[in-house]
Amino acid sequence: MTDKQRIAVAYGDGIGPEITEATLRILQAADTPLEFDRIEIGEAAYRQGVSSGIPRQAWDVIRRNRVLLKGPITTPQGGGYKSVNVTLRKSLGLFANVRQCKSYTPYVASNHPGMNLVIIRENEEDLYAGIEYRQSQETYQGLKLVSRPGTENIIRYAFEYARAYGRRKVTCMTKDNIMKMTDGLFHKTFDAIAPEYPELRSEHQIIDIGAARVAAIPESMDVIVTLNLYGDILSDIAAQVAGSVGLAGSANIGEDAAMFEAVHGSAPDIAGRDVANPSGLLVAATQMLVHLGLGSYAERIKNAWLCTLEDGIHTADIYREGISERSVGTTAFTDAVIERLDQTPQIADKVTYQDKAIEITLAPAIAQRKALVGVDVFLDWSEADRDPNVLGRQLEAANGDGLRLSMVTNRGVKVYPEGLPETYRSDHWRCRYLGGEGEGEASGAGSVEFPQVLRLLERIHNAGLEVIKTEHLYTFDGELGFTLGQGE
Ligand code: NAD
């Protein structure tokens, strides 16, 4: 007999308790060798004043068990509450988010019968770092952080996944025509890793046309790998296009912990009415079983679930006159899955799961020769009708000590020297100083020492200008570590 494995279970908020109860009932009916340790996170914890939504006792259970099955959690709007989901993913190092979006036609209505795609999304970085600032009266800023190891790990995971599950193609989606450093790194890393998997086709699409294709011709996609925010948006589109957000599960995988949840949220509009579709969390639970090396149990449950869909026993979100046989609530749907635990789907693909989680070797650290070559000084400035020529002259007066003003931009567009009078100017200015000759040619800029930057800031401050932040300009093995201004 297999030893029982303990997993943490959070029932969640809204429809969470109903769909979690349903999922656990099916796991138990299938005799899965699991023990459930229930934890309270989310709304109840927020109400008790735990602003993270995760009390200490819950952390202890999660960290001990390393695997969490989680119902959806309501994130209160505003008020300084942090999203429990984002906190869990980041604190536990769950770098990969895997969402399969498949249509189940002809049993569940979908305009895309052949759709069967998987979105593998980077789960810890990008704009989800949540580092945001208001820096002037008019301007707010969010930091988009993308690391080379983070990128390499998710891309390698996507290729390994595609290989393990017999997929044919991996599509990378970025917006590197605009974000040349962050998204550019993602695209370049994808191109560097792809040749290691010669049996798989690889391609890159700009995220906007890529997302449009997911909506219009999802059957042309196989495995998609992308950054955090794009992946979040894309997977809801894909889940909805496949039939319902209520059908898709999501696995969050880290090196030594994992969390499984439905793609959808806590659906407060239908909570407590026994109408929610438990399928998303159930599918996530089957992903969890595979992760735990219990693939045969996953297969049995997934097949019973497919039989239920095939028999037309549908919850309200997927019920369609003429296709469905019976409209049922959460409890009756769950009973129907349990009744079919030893049945094999007739027409829908019979699933077979391998008993193995995907493993990758995490990216090693690298060391390149790093040199400071200049500094971008950001100002909050609204004087002289925001005339860039007035500001430019004041900034040039601070030249010296090996640093020279090279340009001023406003919202990324060069406005000095030789800006266009038509360019709109906000109160947020970026003033680029480069070392050595400095003028214009960033790549030819000379080396700068940090004290030179400090003295420059002092000169700018003494000129009566308000410095709100600085960004250092580096080269790495001689390659620029910063973008040029538009028009530079
Ligand atoms: P939602 O996914 O909860 O609901 C969107 C729509 O889909 C609603 O009409 C809902 O009734 C329907 N729906 C969702 N799940 C369903 C199911 N299983 N069966 C039938 N219909 C279903 O999105 P929302 O309304 O934008 O968000 C509600 C709350 O959930 C918010 O507080 C949000 O922060 C949170 N949320 C949590 C998670 C998570 O825990 N991973 C994910 C997304 C949103």
Q: Whose CA is closest to 247, among 91, 115, 390?
A: 115
Backbone angles phi, psi at 331, to 5 degrees: -65, -45
User: Does residue 20 contact residue 281 with C-beta atoms inside 8 Å?
Assistant: yes
Q: Which atom of ligand 1 has the smallest separation from the CA of 267?
A: 3
> Taking CA 347 as the corner, what is the angle to CA 345 and CA 348, rounded to the nearest 5 degrees?
70
**Using a 6 Å cutoff on CB, does residue 276 contact ligand 1?**
yes
Helix (H) or strand (E) holding 42: none
Burial 166-176 (b: 16+ CB within 10 A, else e): ebeebbbbbbb
How many Å lie between the centroid of ligand 1 and the Cα of residue 357? Answer: 28
Instruction: State the pTM of this model.
Output: 0.88
The protein residue with its alpha carbon nearest to ligand 1, atom 40, reads 72
284 Cβ inside 6 Å of ligand 1: no
Q: Is the CB of 243 under 6 A from ligand 1?
A: no
| Residue closest by Cα to atom 42 of ligand 1 | 265
Report yes or no: 398 and 459 within 8 Å, Cβ to Cβ: yes
Tell me: the pLDDT tens digits for 352-400?
776 667 888 888 888 899 999 999 999 999 999 999 999 999 999 999 9
Nearest CA residue ID for atom 1, ligand 1? 265
Mark out the alpha helices in 181-294 (DSSP H runs): 182-193, 207-216, 228-242, 279-291
Residue 387: its H or E element: none
- CATH superfamily placement of domain 5-339: Isopropylmalate Dehydrogenase (3.40.718.10)
If you measure from the C-alpha of residue 58 to the centroid of ligand 1, how many angstroms do you get, rounded to a whole number? 23
The Cα–Cα gap between 182 and 176 comes to 8
Binding site membership of 264 for ligand 1 (Cβ less than 6 Å): yes
The pLDDT, as a whole number, for residue 438 is: 46
Token couple for 369: 């020769």
CATH fold for the domain made of 370-480: Alpha-Beta Plaits (3.30.70)
Residue 27: in which H helix or E strand, if any? helix 16-29
Measured in Å, residue 322 CA sits from the centre of ligand 1 at 27
Kindly compute the dihedral angle of the four CA atoms of residues 45, 50, 51, 55, in this order, to the nearest 10 degrees: -80
Token couple for 440? 């214009």
The torsion angles phi and psi of 37, rounded to 5 degrees, stand at -105, 110
Q: Is 267 in the pocket of ligand 1 (CB under 6 A)?
A: yes
Residue 467 pairs with which residues in a beta bridge?
379
Cα gap 131→320, rounded to integer Å: 44
Side-chain-facing half-sphere of 85: CA atoms under 13 Å = 23
What is the domain partition of the chain in residue ranges? 5-339, 370-480
- CA-236 nearest atom, ligand 1: 2
Q: Which atom, in ligand 1's list, is nearest to the CA of 262? A: 41
Q: How far apart are CA 120 and CA 161, in angstroms?
A: 9
Q: Give residue 366's pLDDT.
A: 83
The β-bridge relationship of strands 96-102 and 249-253 is antiparallel
Ligand 1 atom closest to residue 74's alpha carbon, by position in its atom list:
32
Asked whether 435 and 447 are in contact (CB, 8 A), the reply is: yes
The span from the CA of 24 to the CA of 272, in Å, is 17
Q: Which amino acid is at 144?
A: K
Residue 21 DSSP label: H
Length of the chain: 488
Report the alpha-carbon distance of residue 207 to residue 226 in Å, rounded: 9
Query: Under a CB-based contact definition with an 8 Å cutoff, are residues 124 and 150 in contact?
Result: yes
Question: Whole-angstrom Cα distance, residue 107 to residue 319?
Answer: 10
**Do 140 and 472 touch, CB atoms closer than 8 A?**
no
pLDDT of residue 170: 98
Q: Tokens at residue 161, please?
A: 């996944």
DSSP code at position 33: S
Best of 245, 283, 333 for a ligand 1 pocket test (most atoms within 8 Å of beta carbon): 245
The closest residue, in CA terms, to atom 30 on ligand 1 is 265
Exposure string of 182-198, with b = 16+ CB inside 10 Å and e = fewer, is bbbbbbebbeebbeebe
Nearest CA to ligand 1 atom 32: 74
Question: In whole angstroms, what is the distance from residue 325 CA to residue 328 CA?
Answer: 10
pLDDT single digits (tens) 274-291: 999 999 999 999 999 999
pLDDT per residue as tens, the chain (488 positions): 558 999 999 999 999 999 999 999 999 999 999 999 999 999 888 888 888 899 999 999 999 999 999 999 988 776 667 788 888 888 888 999 999 998 888 888 888 988 999 999 999 999 988 899 999 999 999 999 999 999 999 999 999 999 988 999 999 999 999 999 999 999 999 999 999 999 999 999 999 999 999 999 999 999 999 999 999 999 889 988 887 778 889 999 998 899 999 988 999 999 999 999 999 999 999 999 999 999 999 999 999 999 999 999 999 999 999 989 999 999 999 999 999 999 999 877 777 776 667 888 888 888 899 999 999 999 999 999 999 999 999 999 999 999 999 999 999 999 999 988 888 899 999 999 999 754 445 566 789 999 999 999 999 999 999 999 999 999 999 999 999 877 67
Yes or no: say if 56 and 91 are a contact pair by the CB < 8 Å rule: no
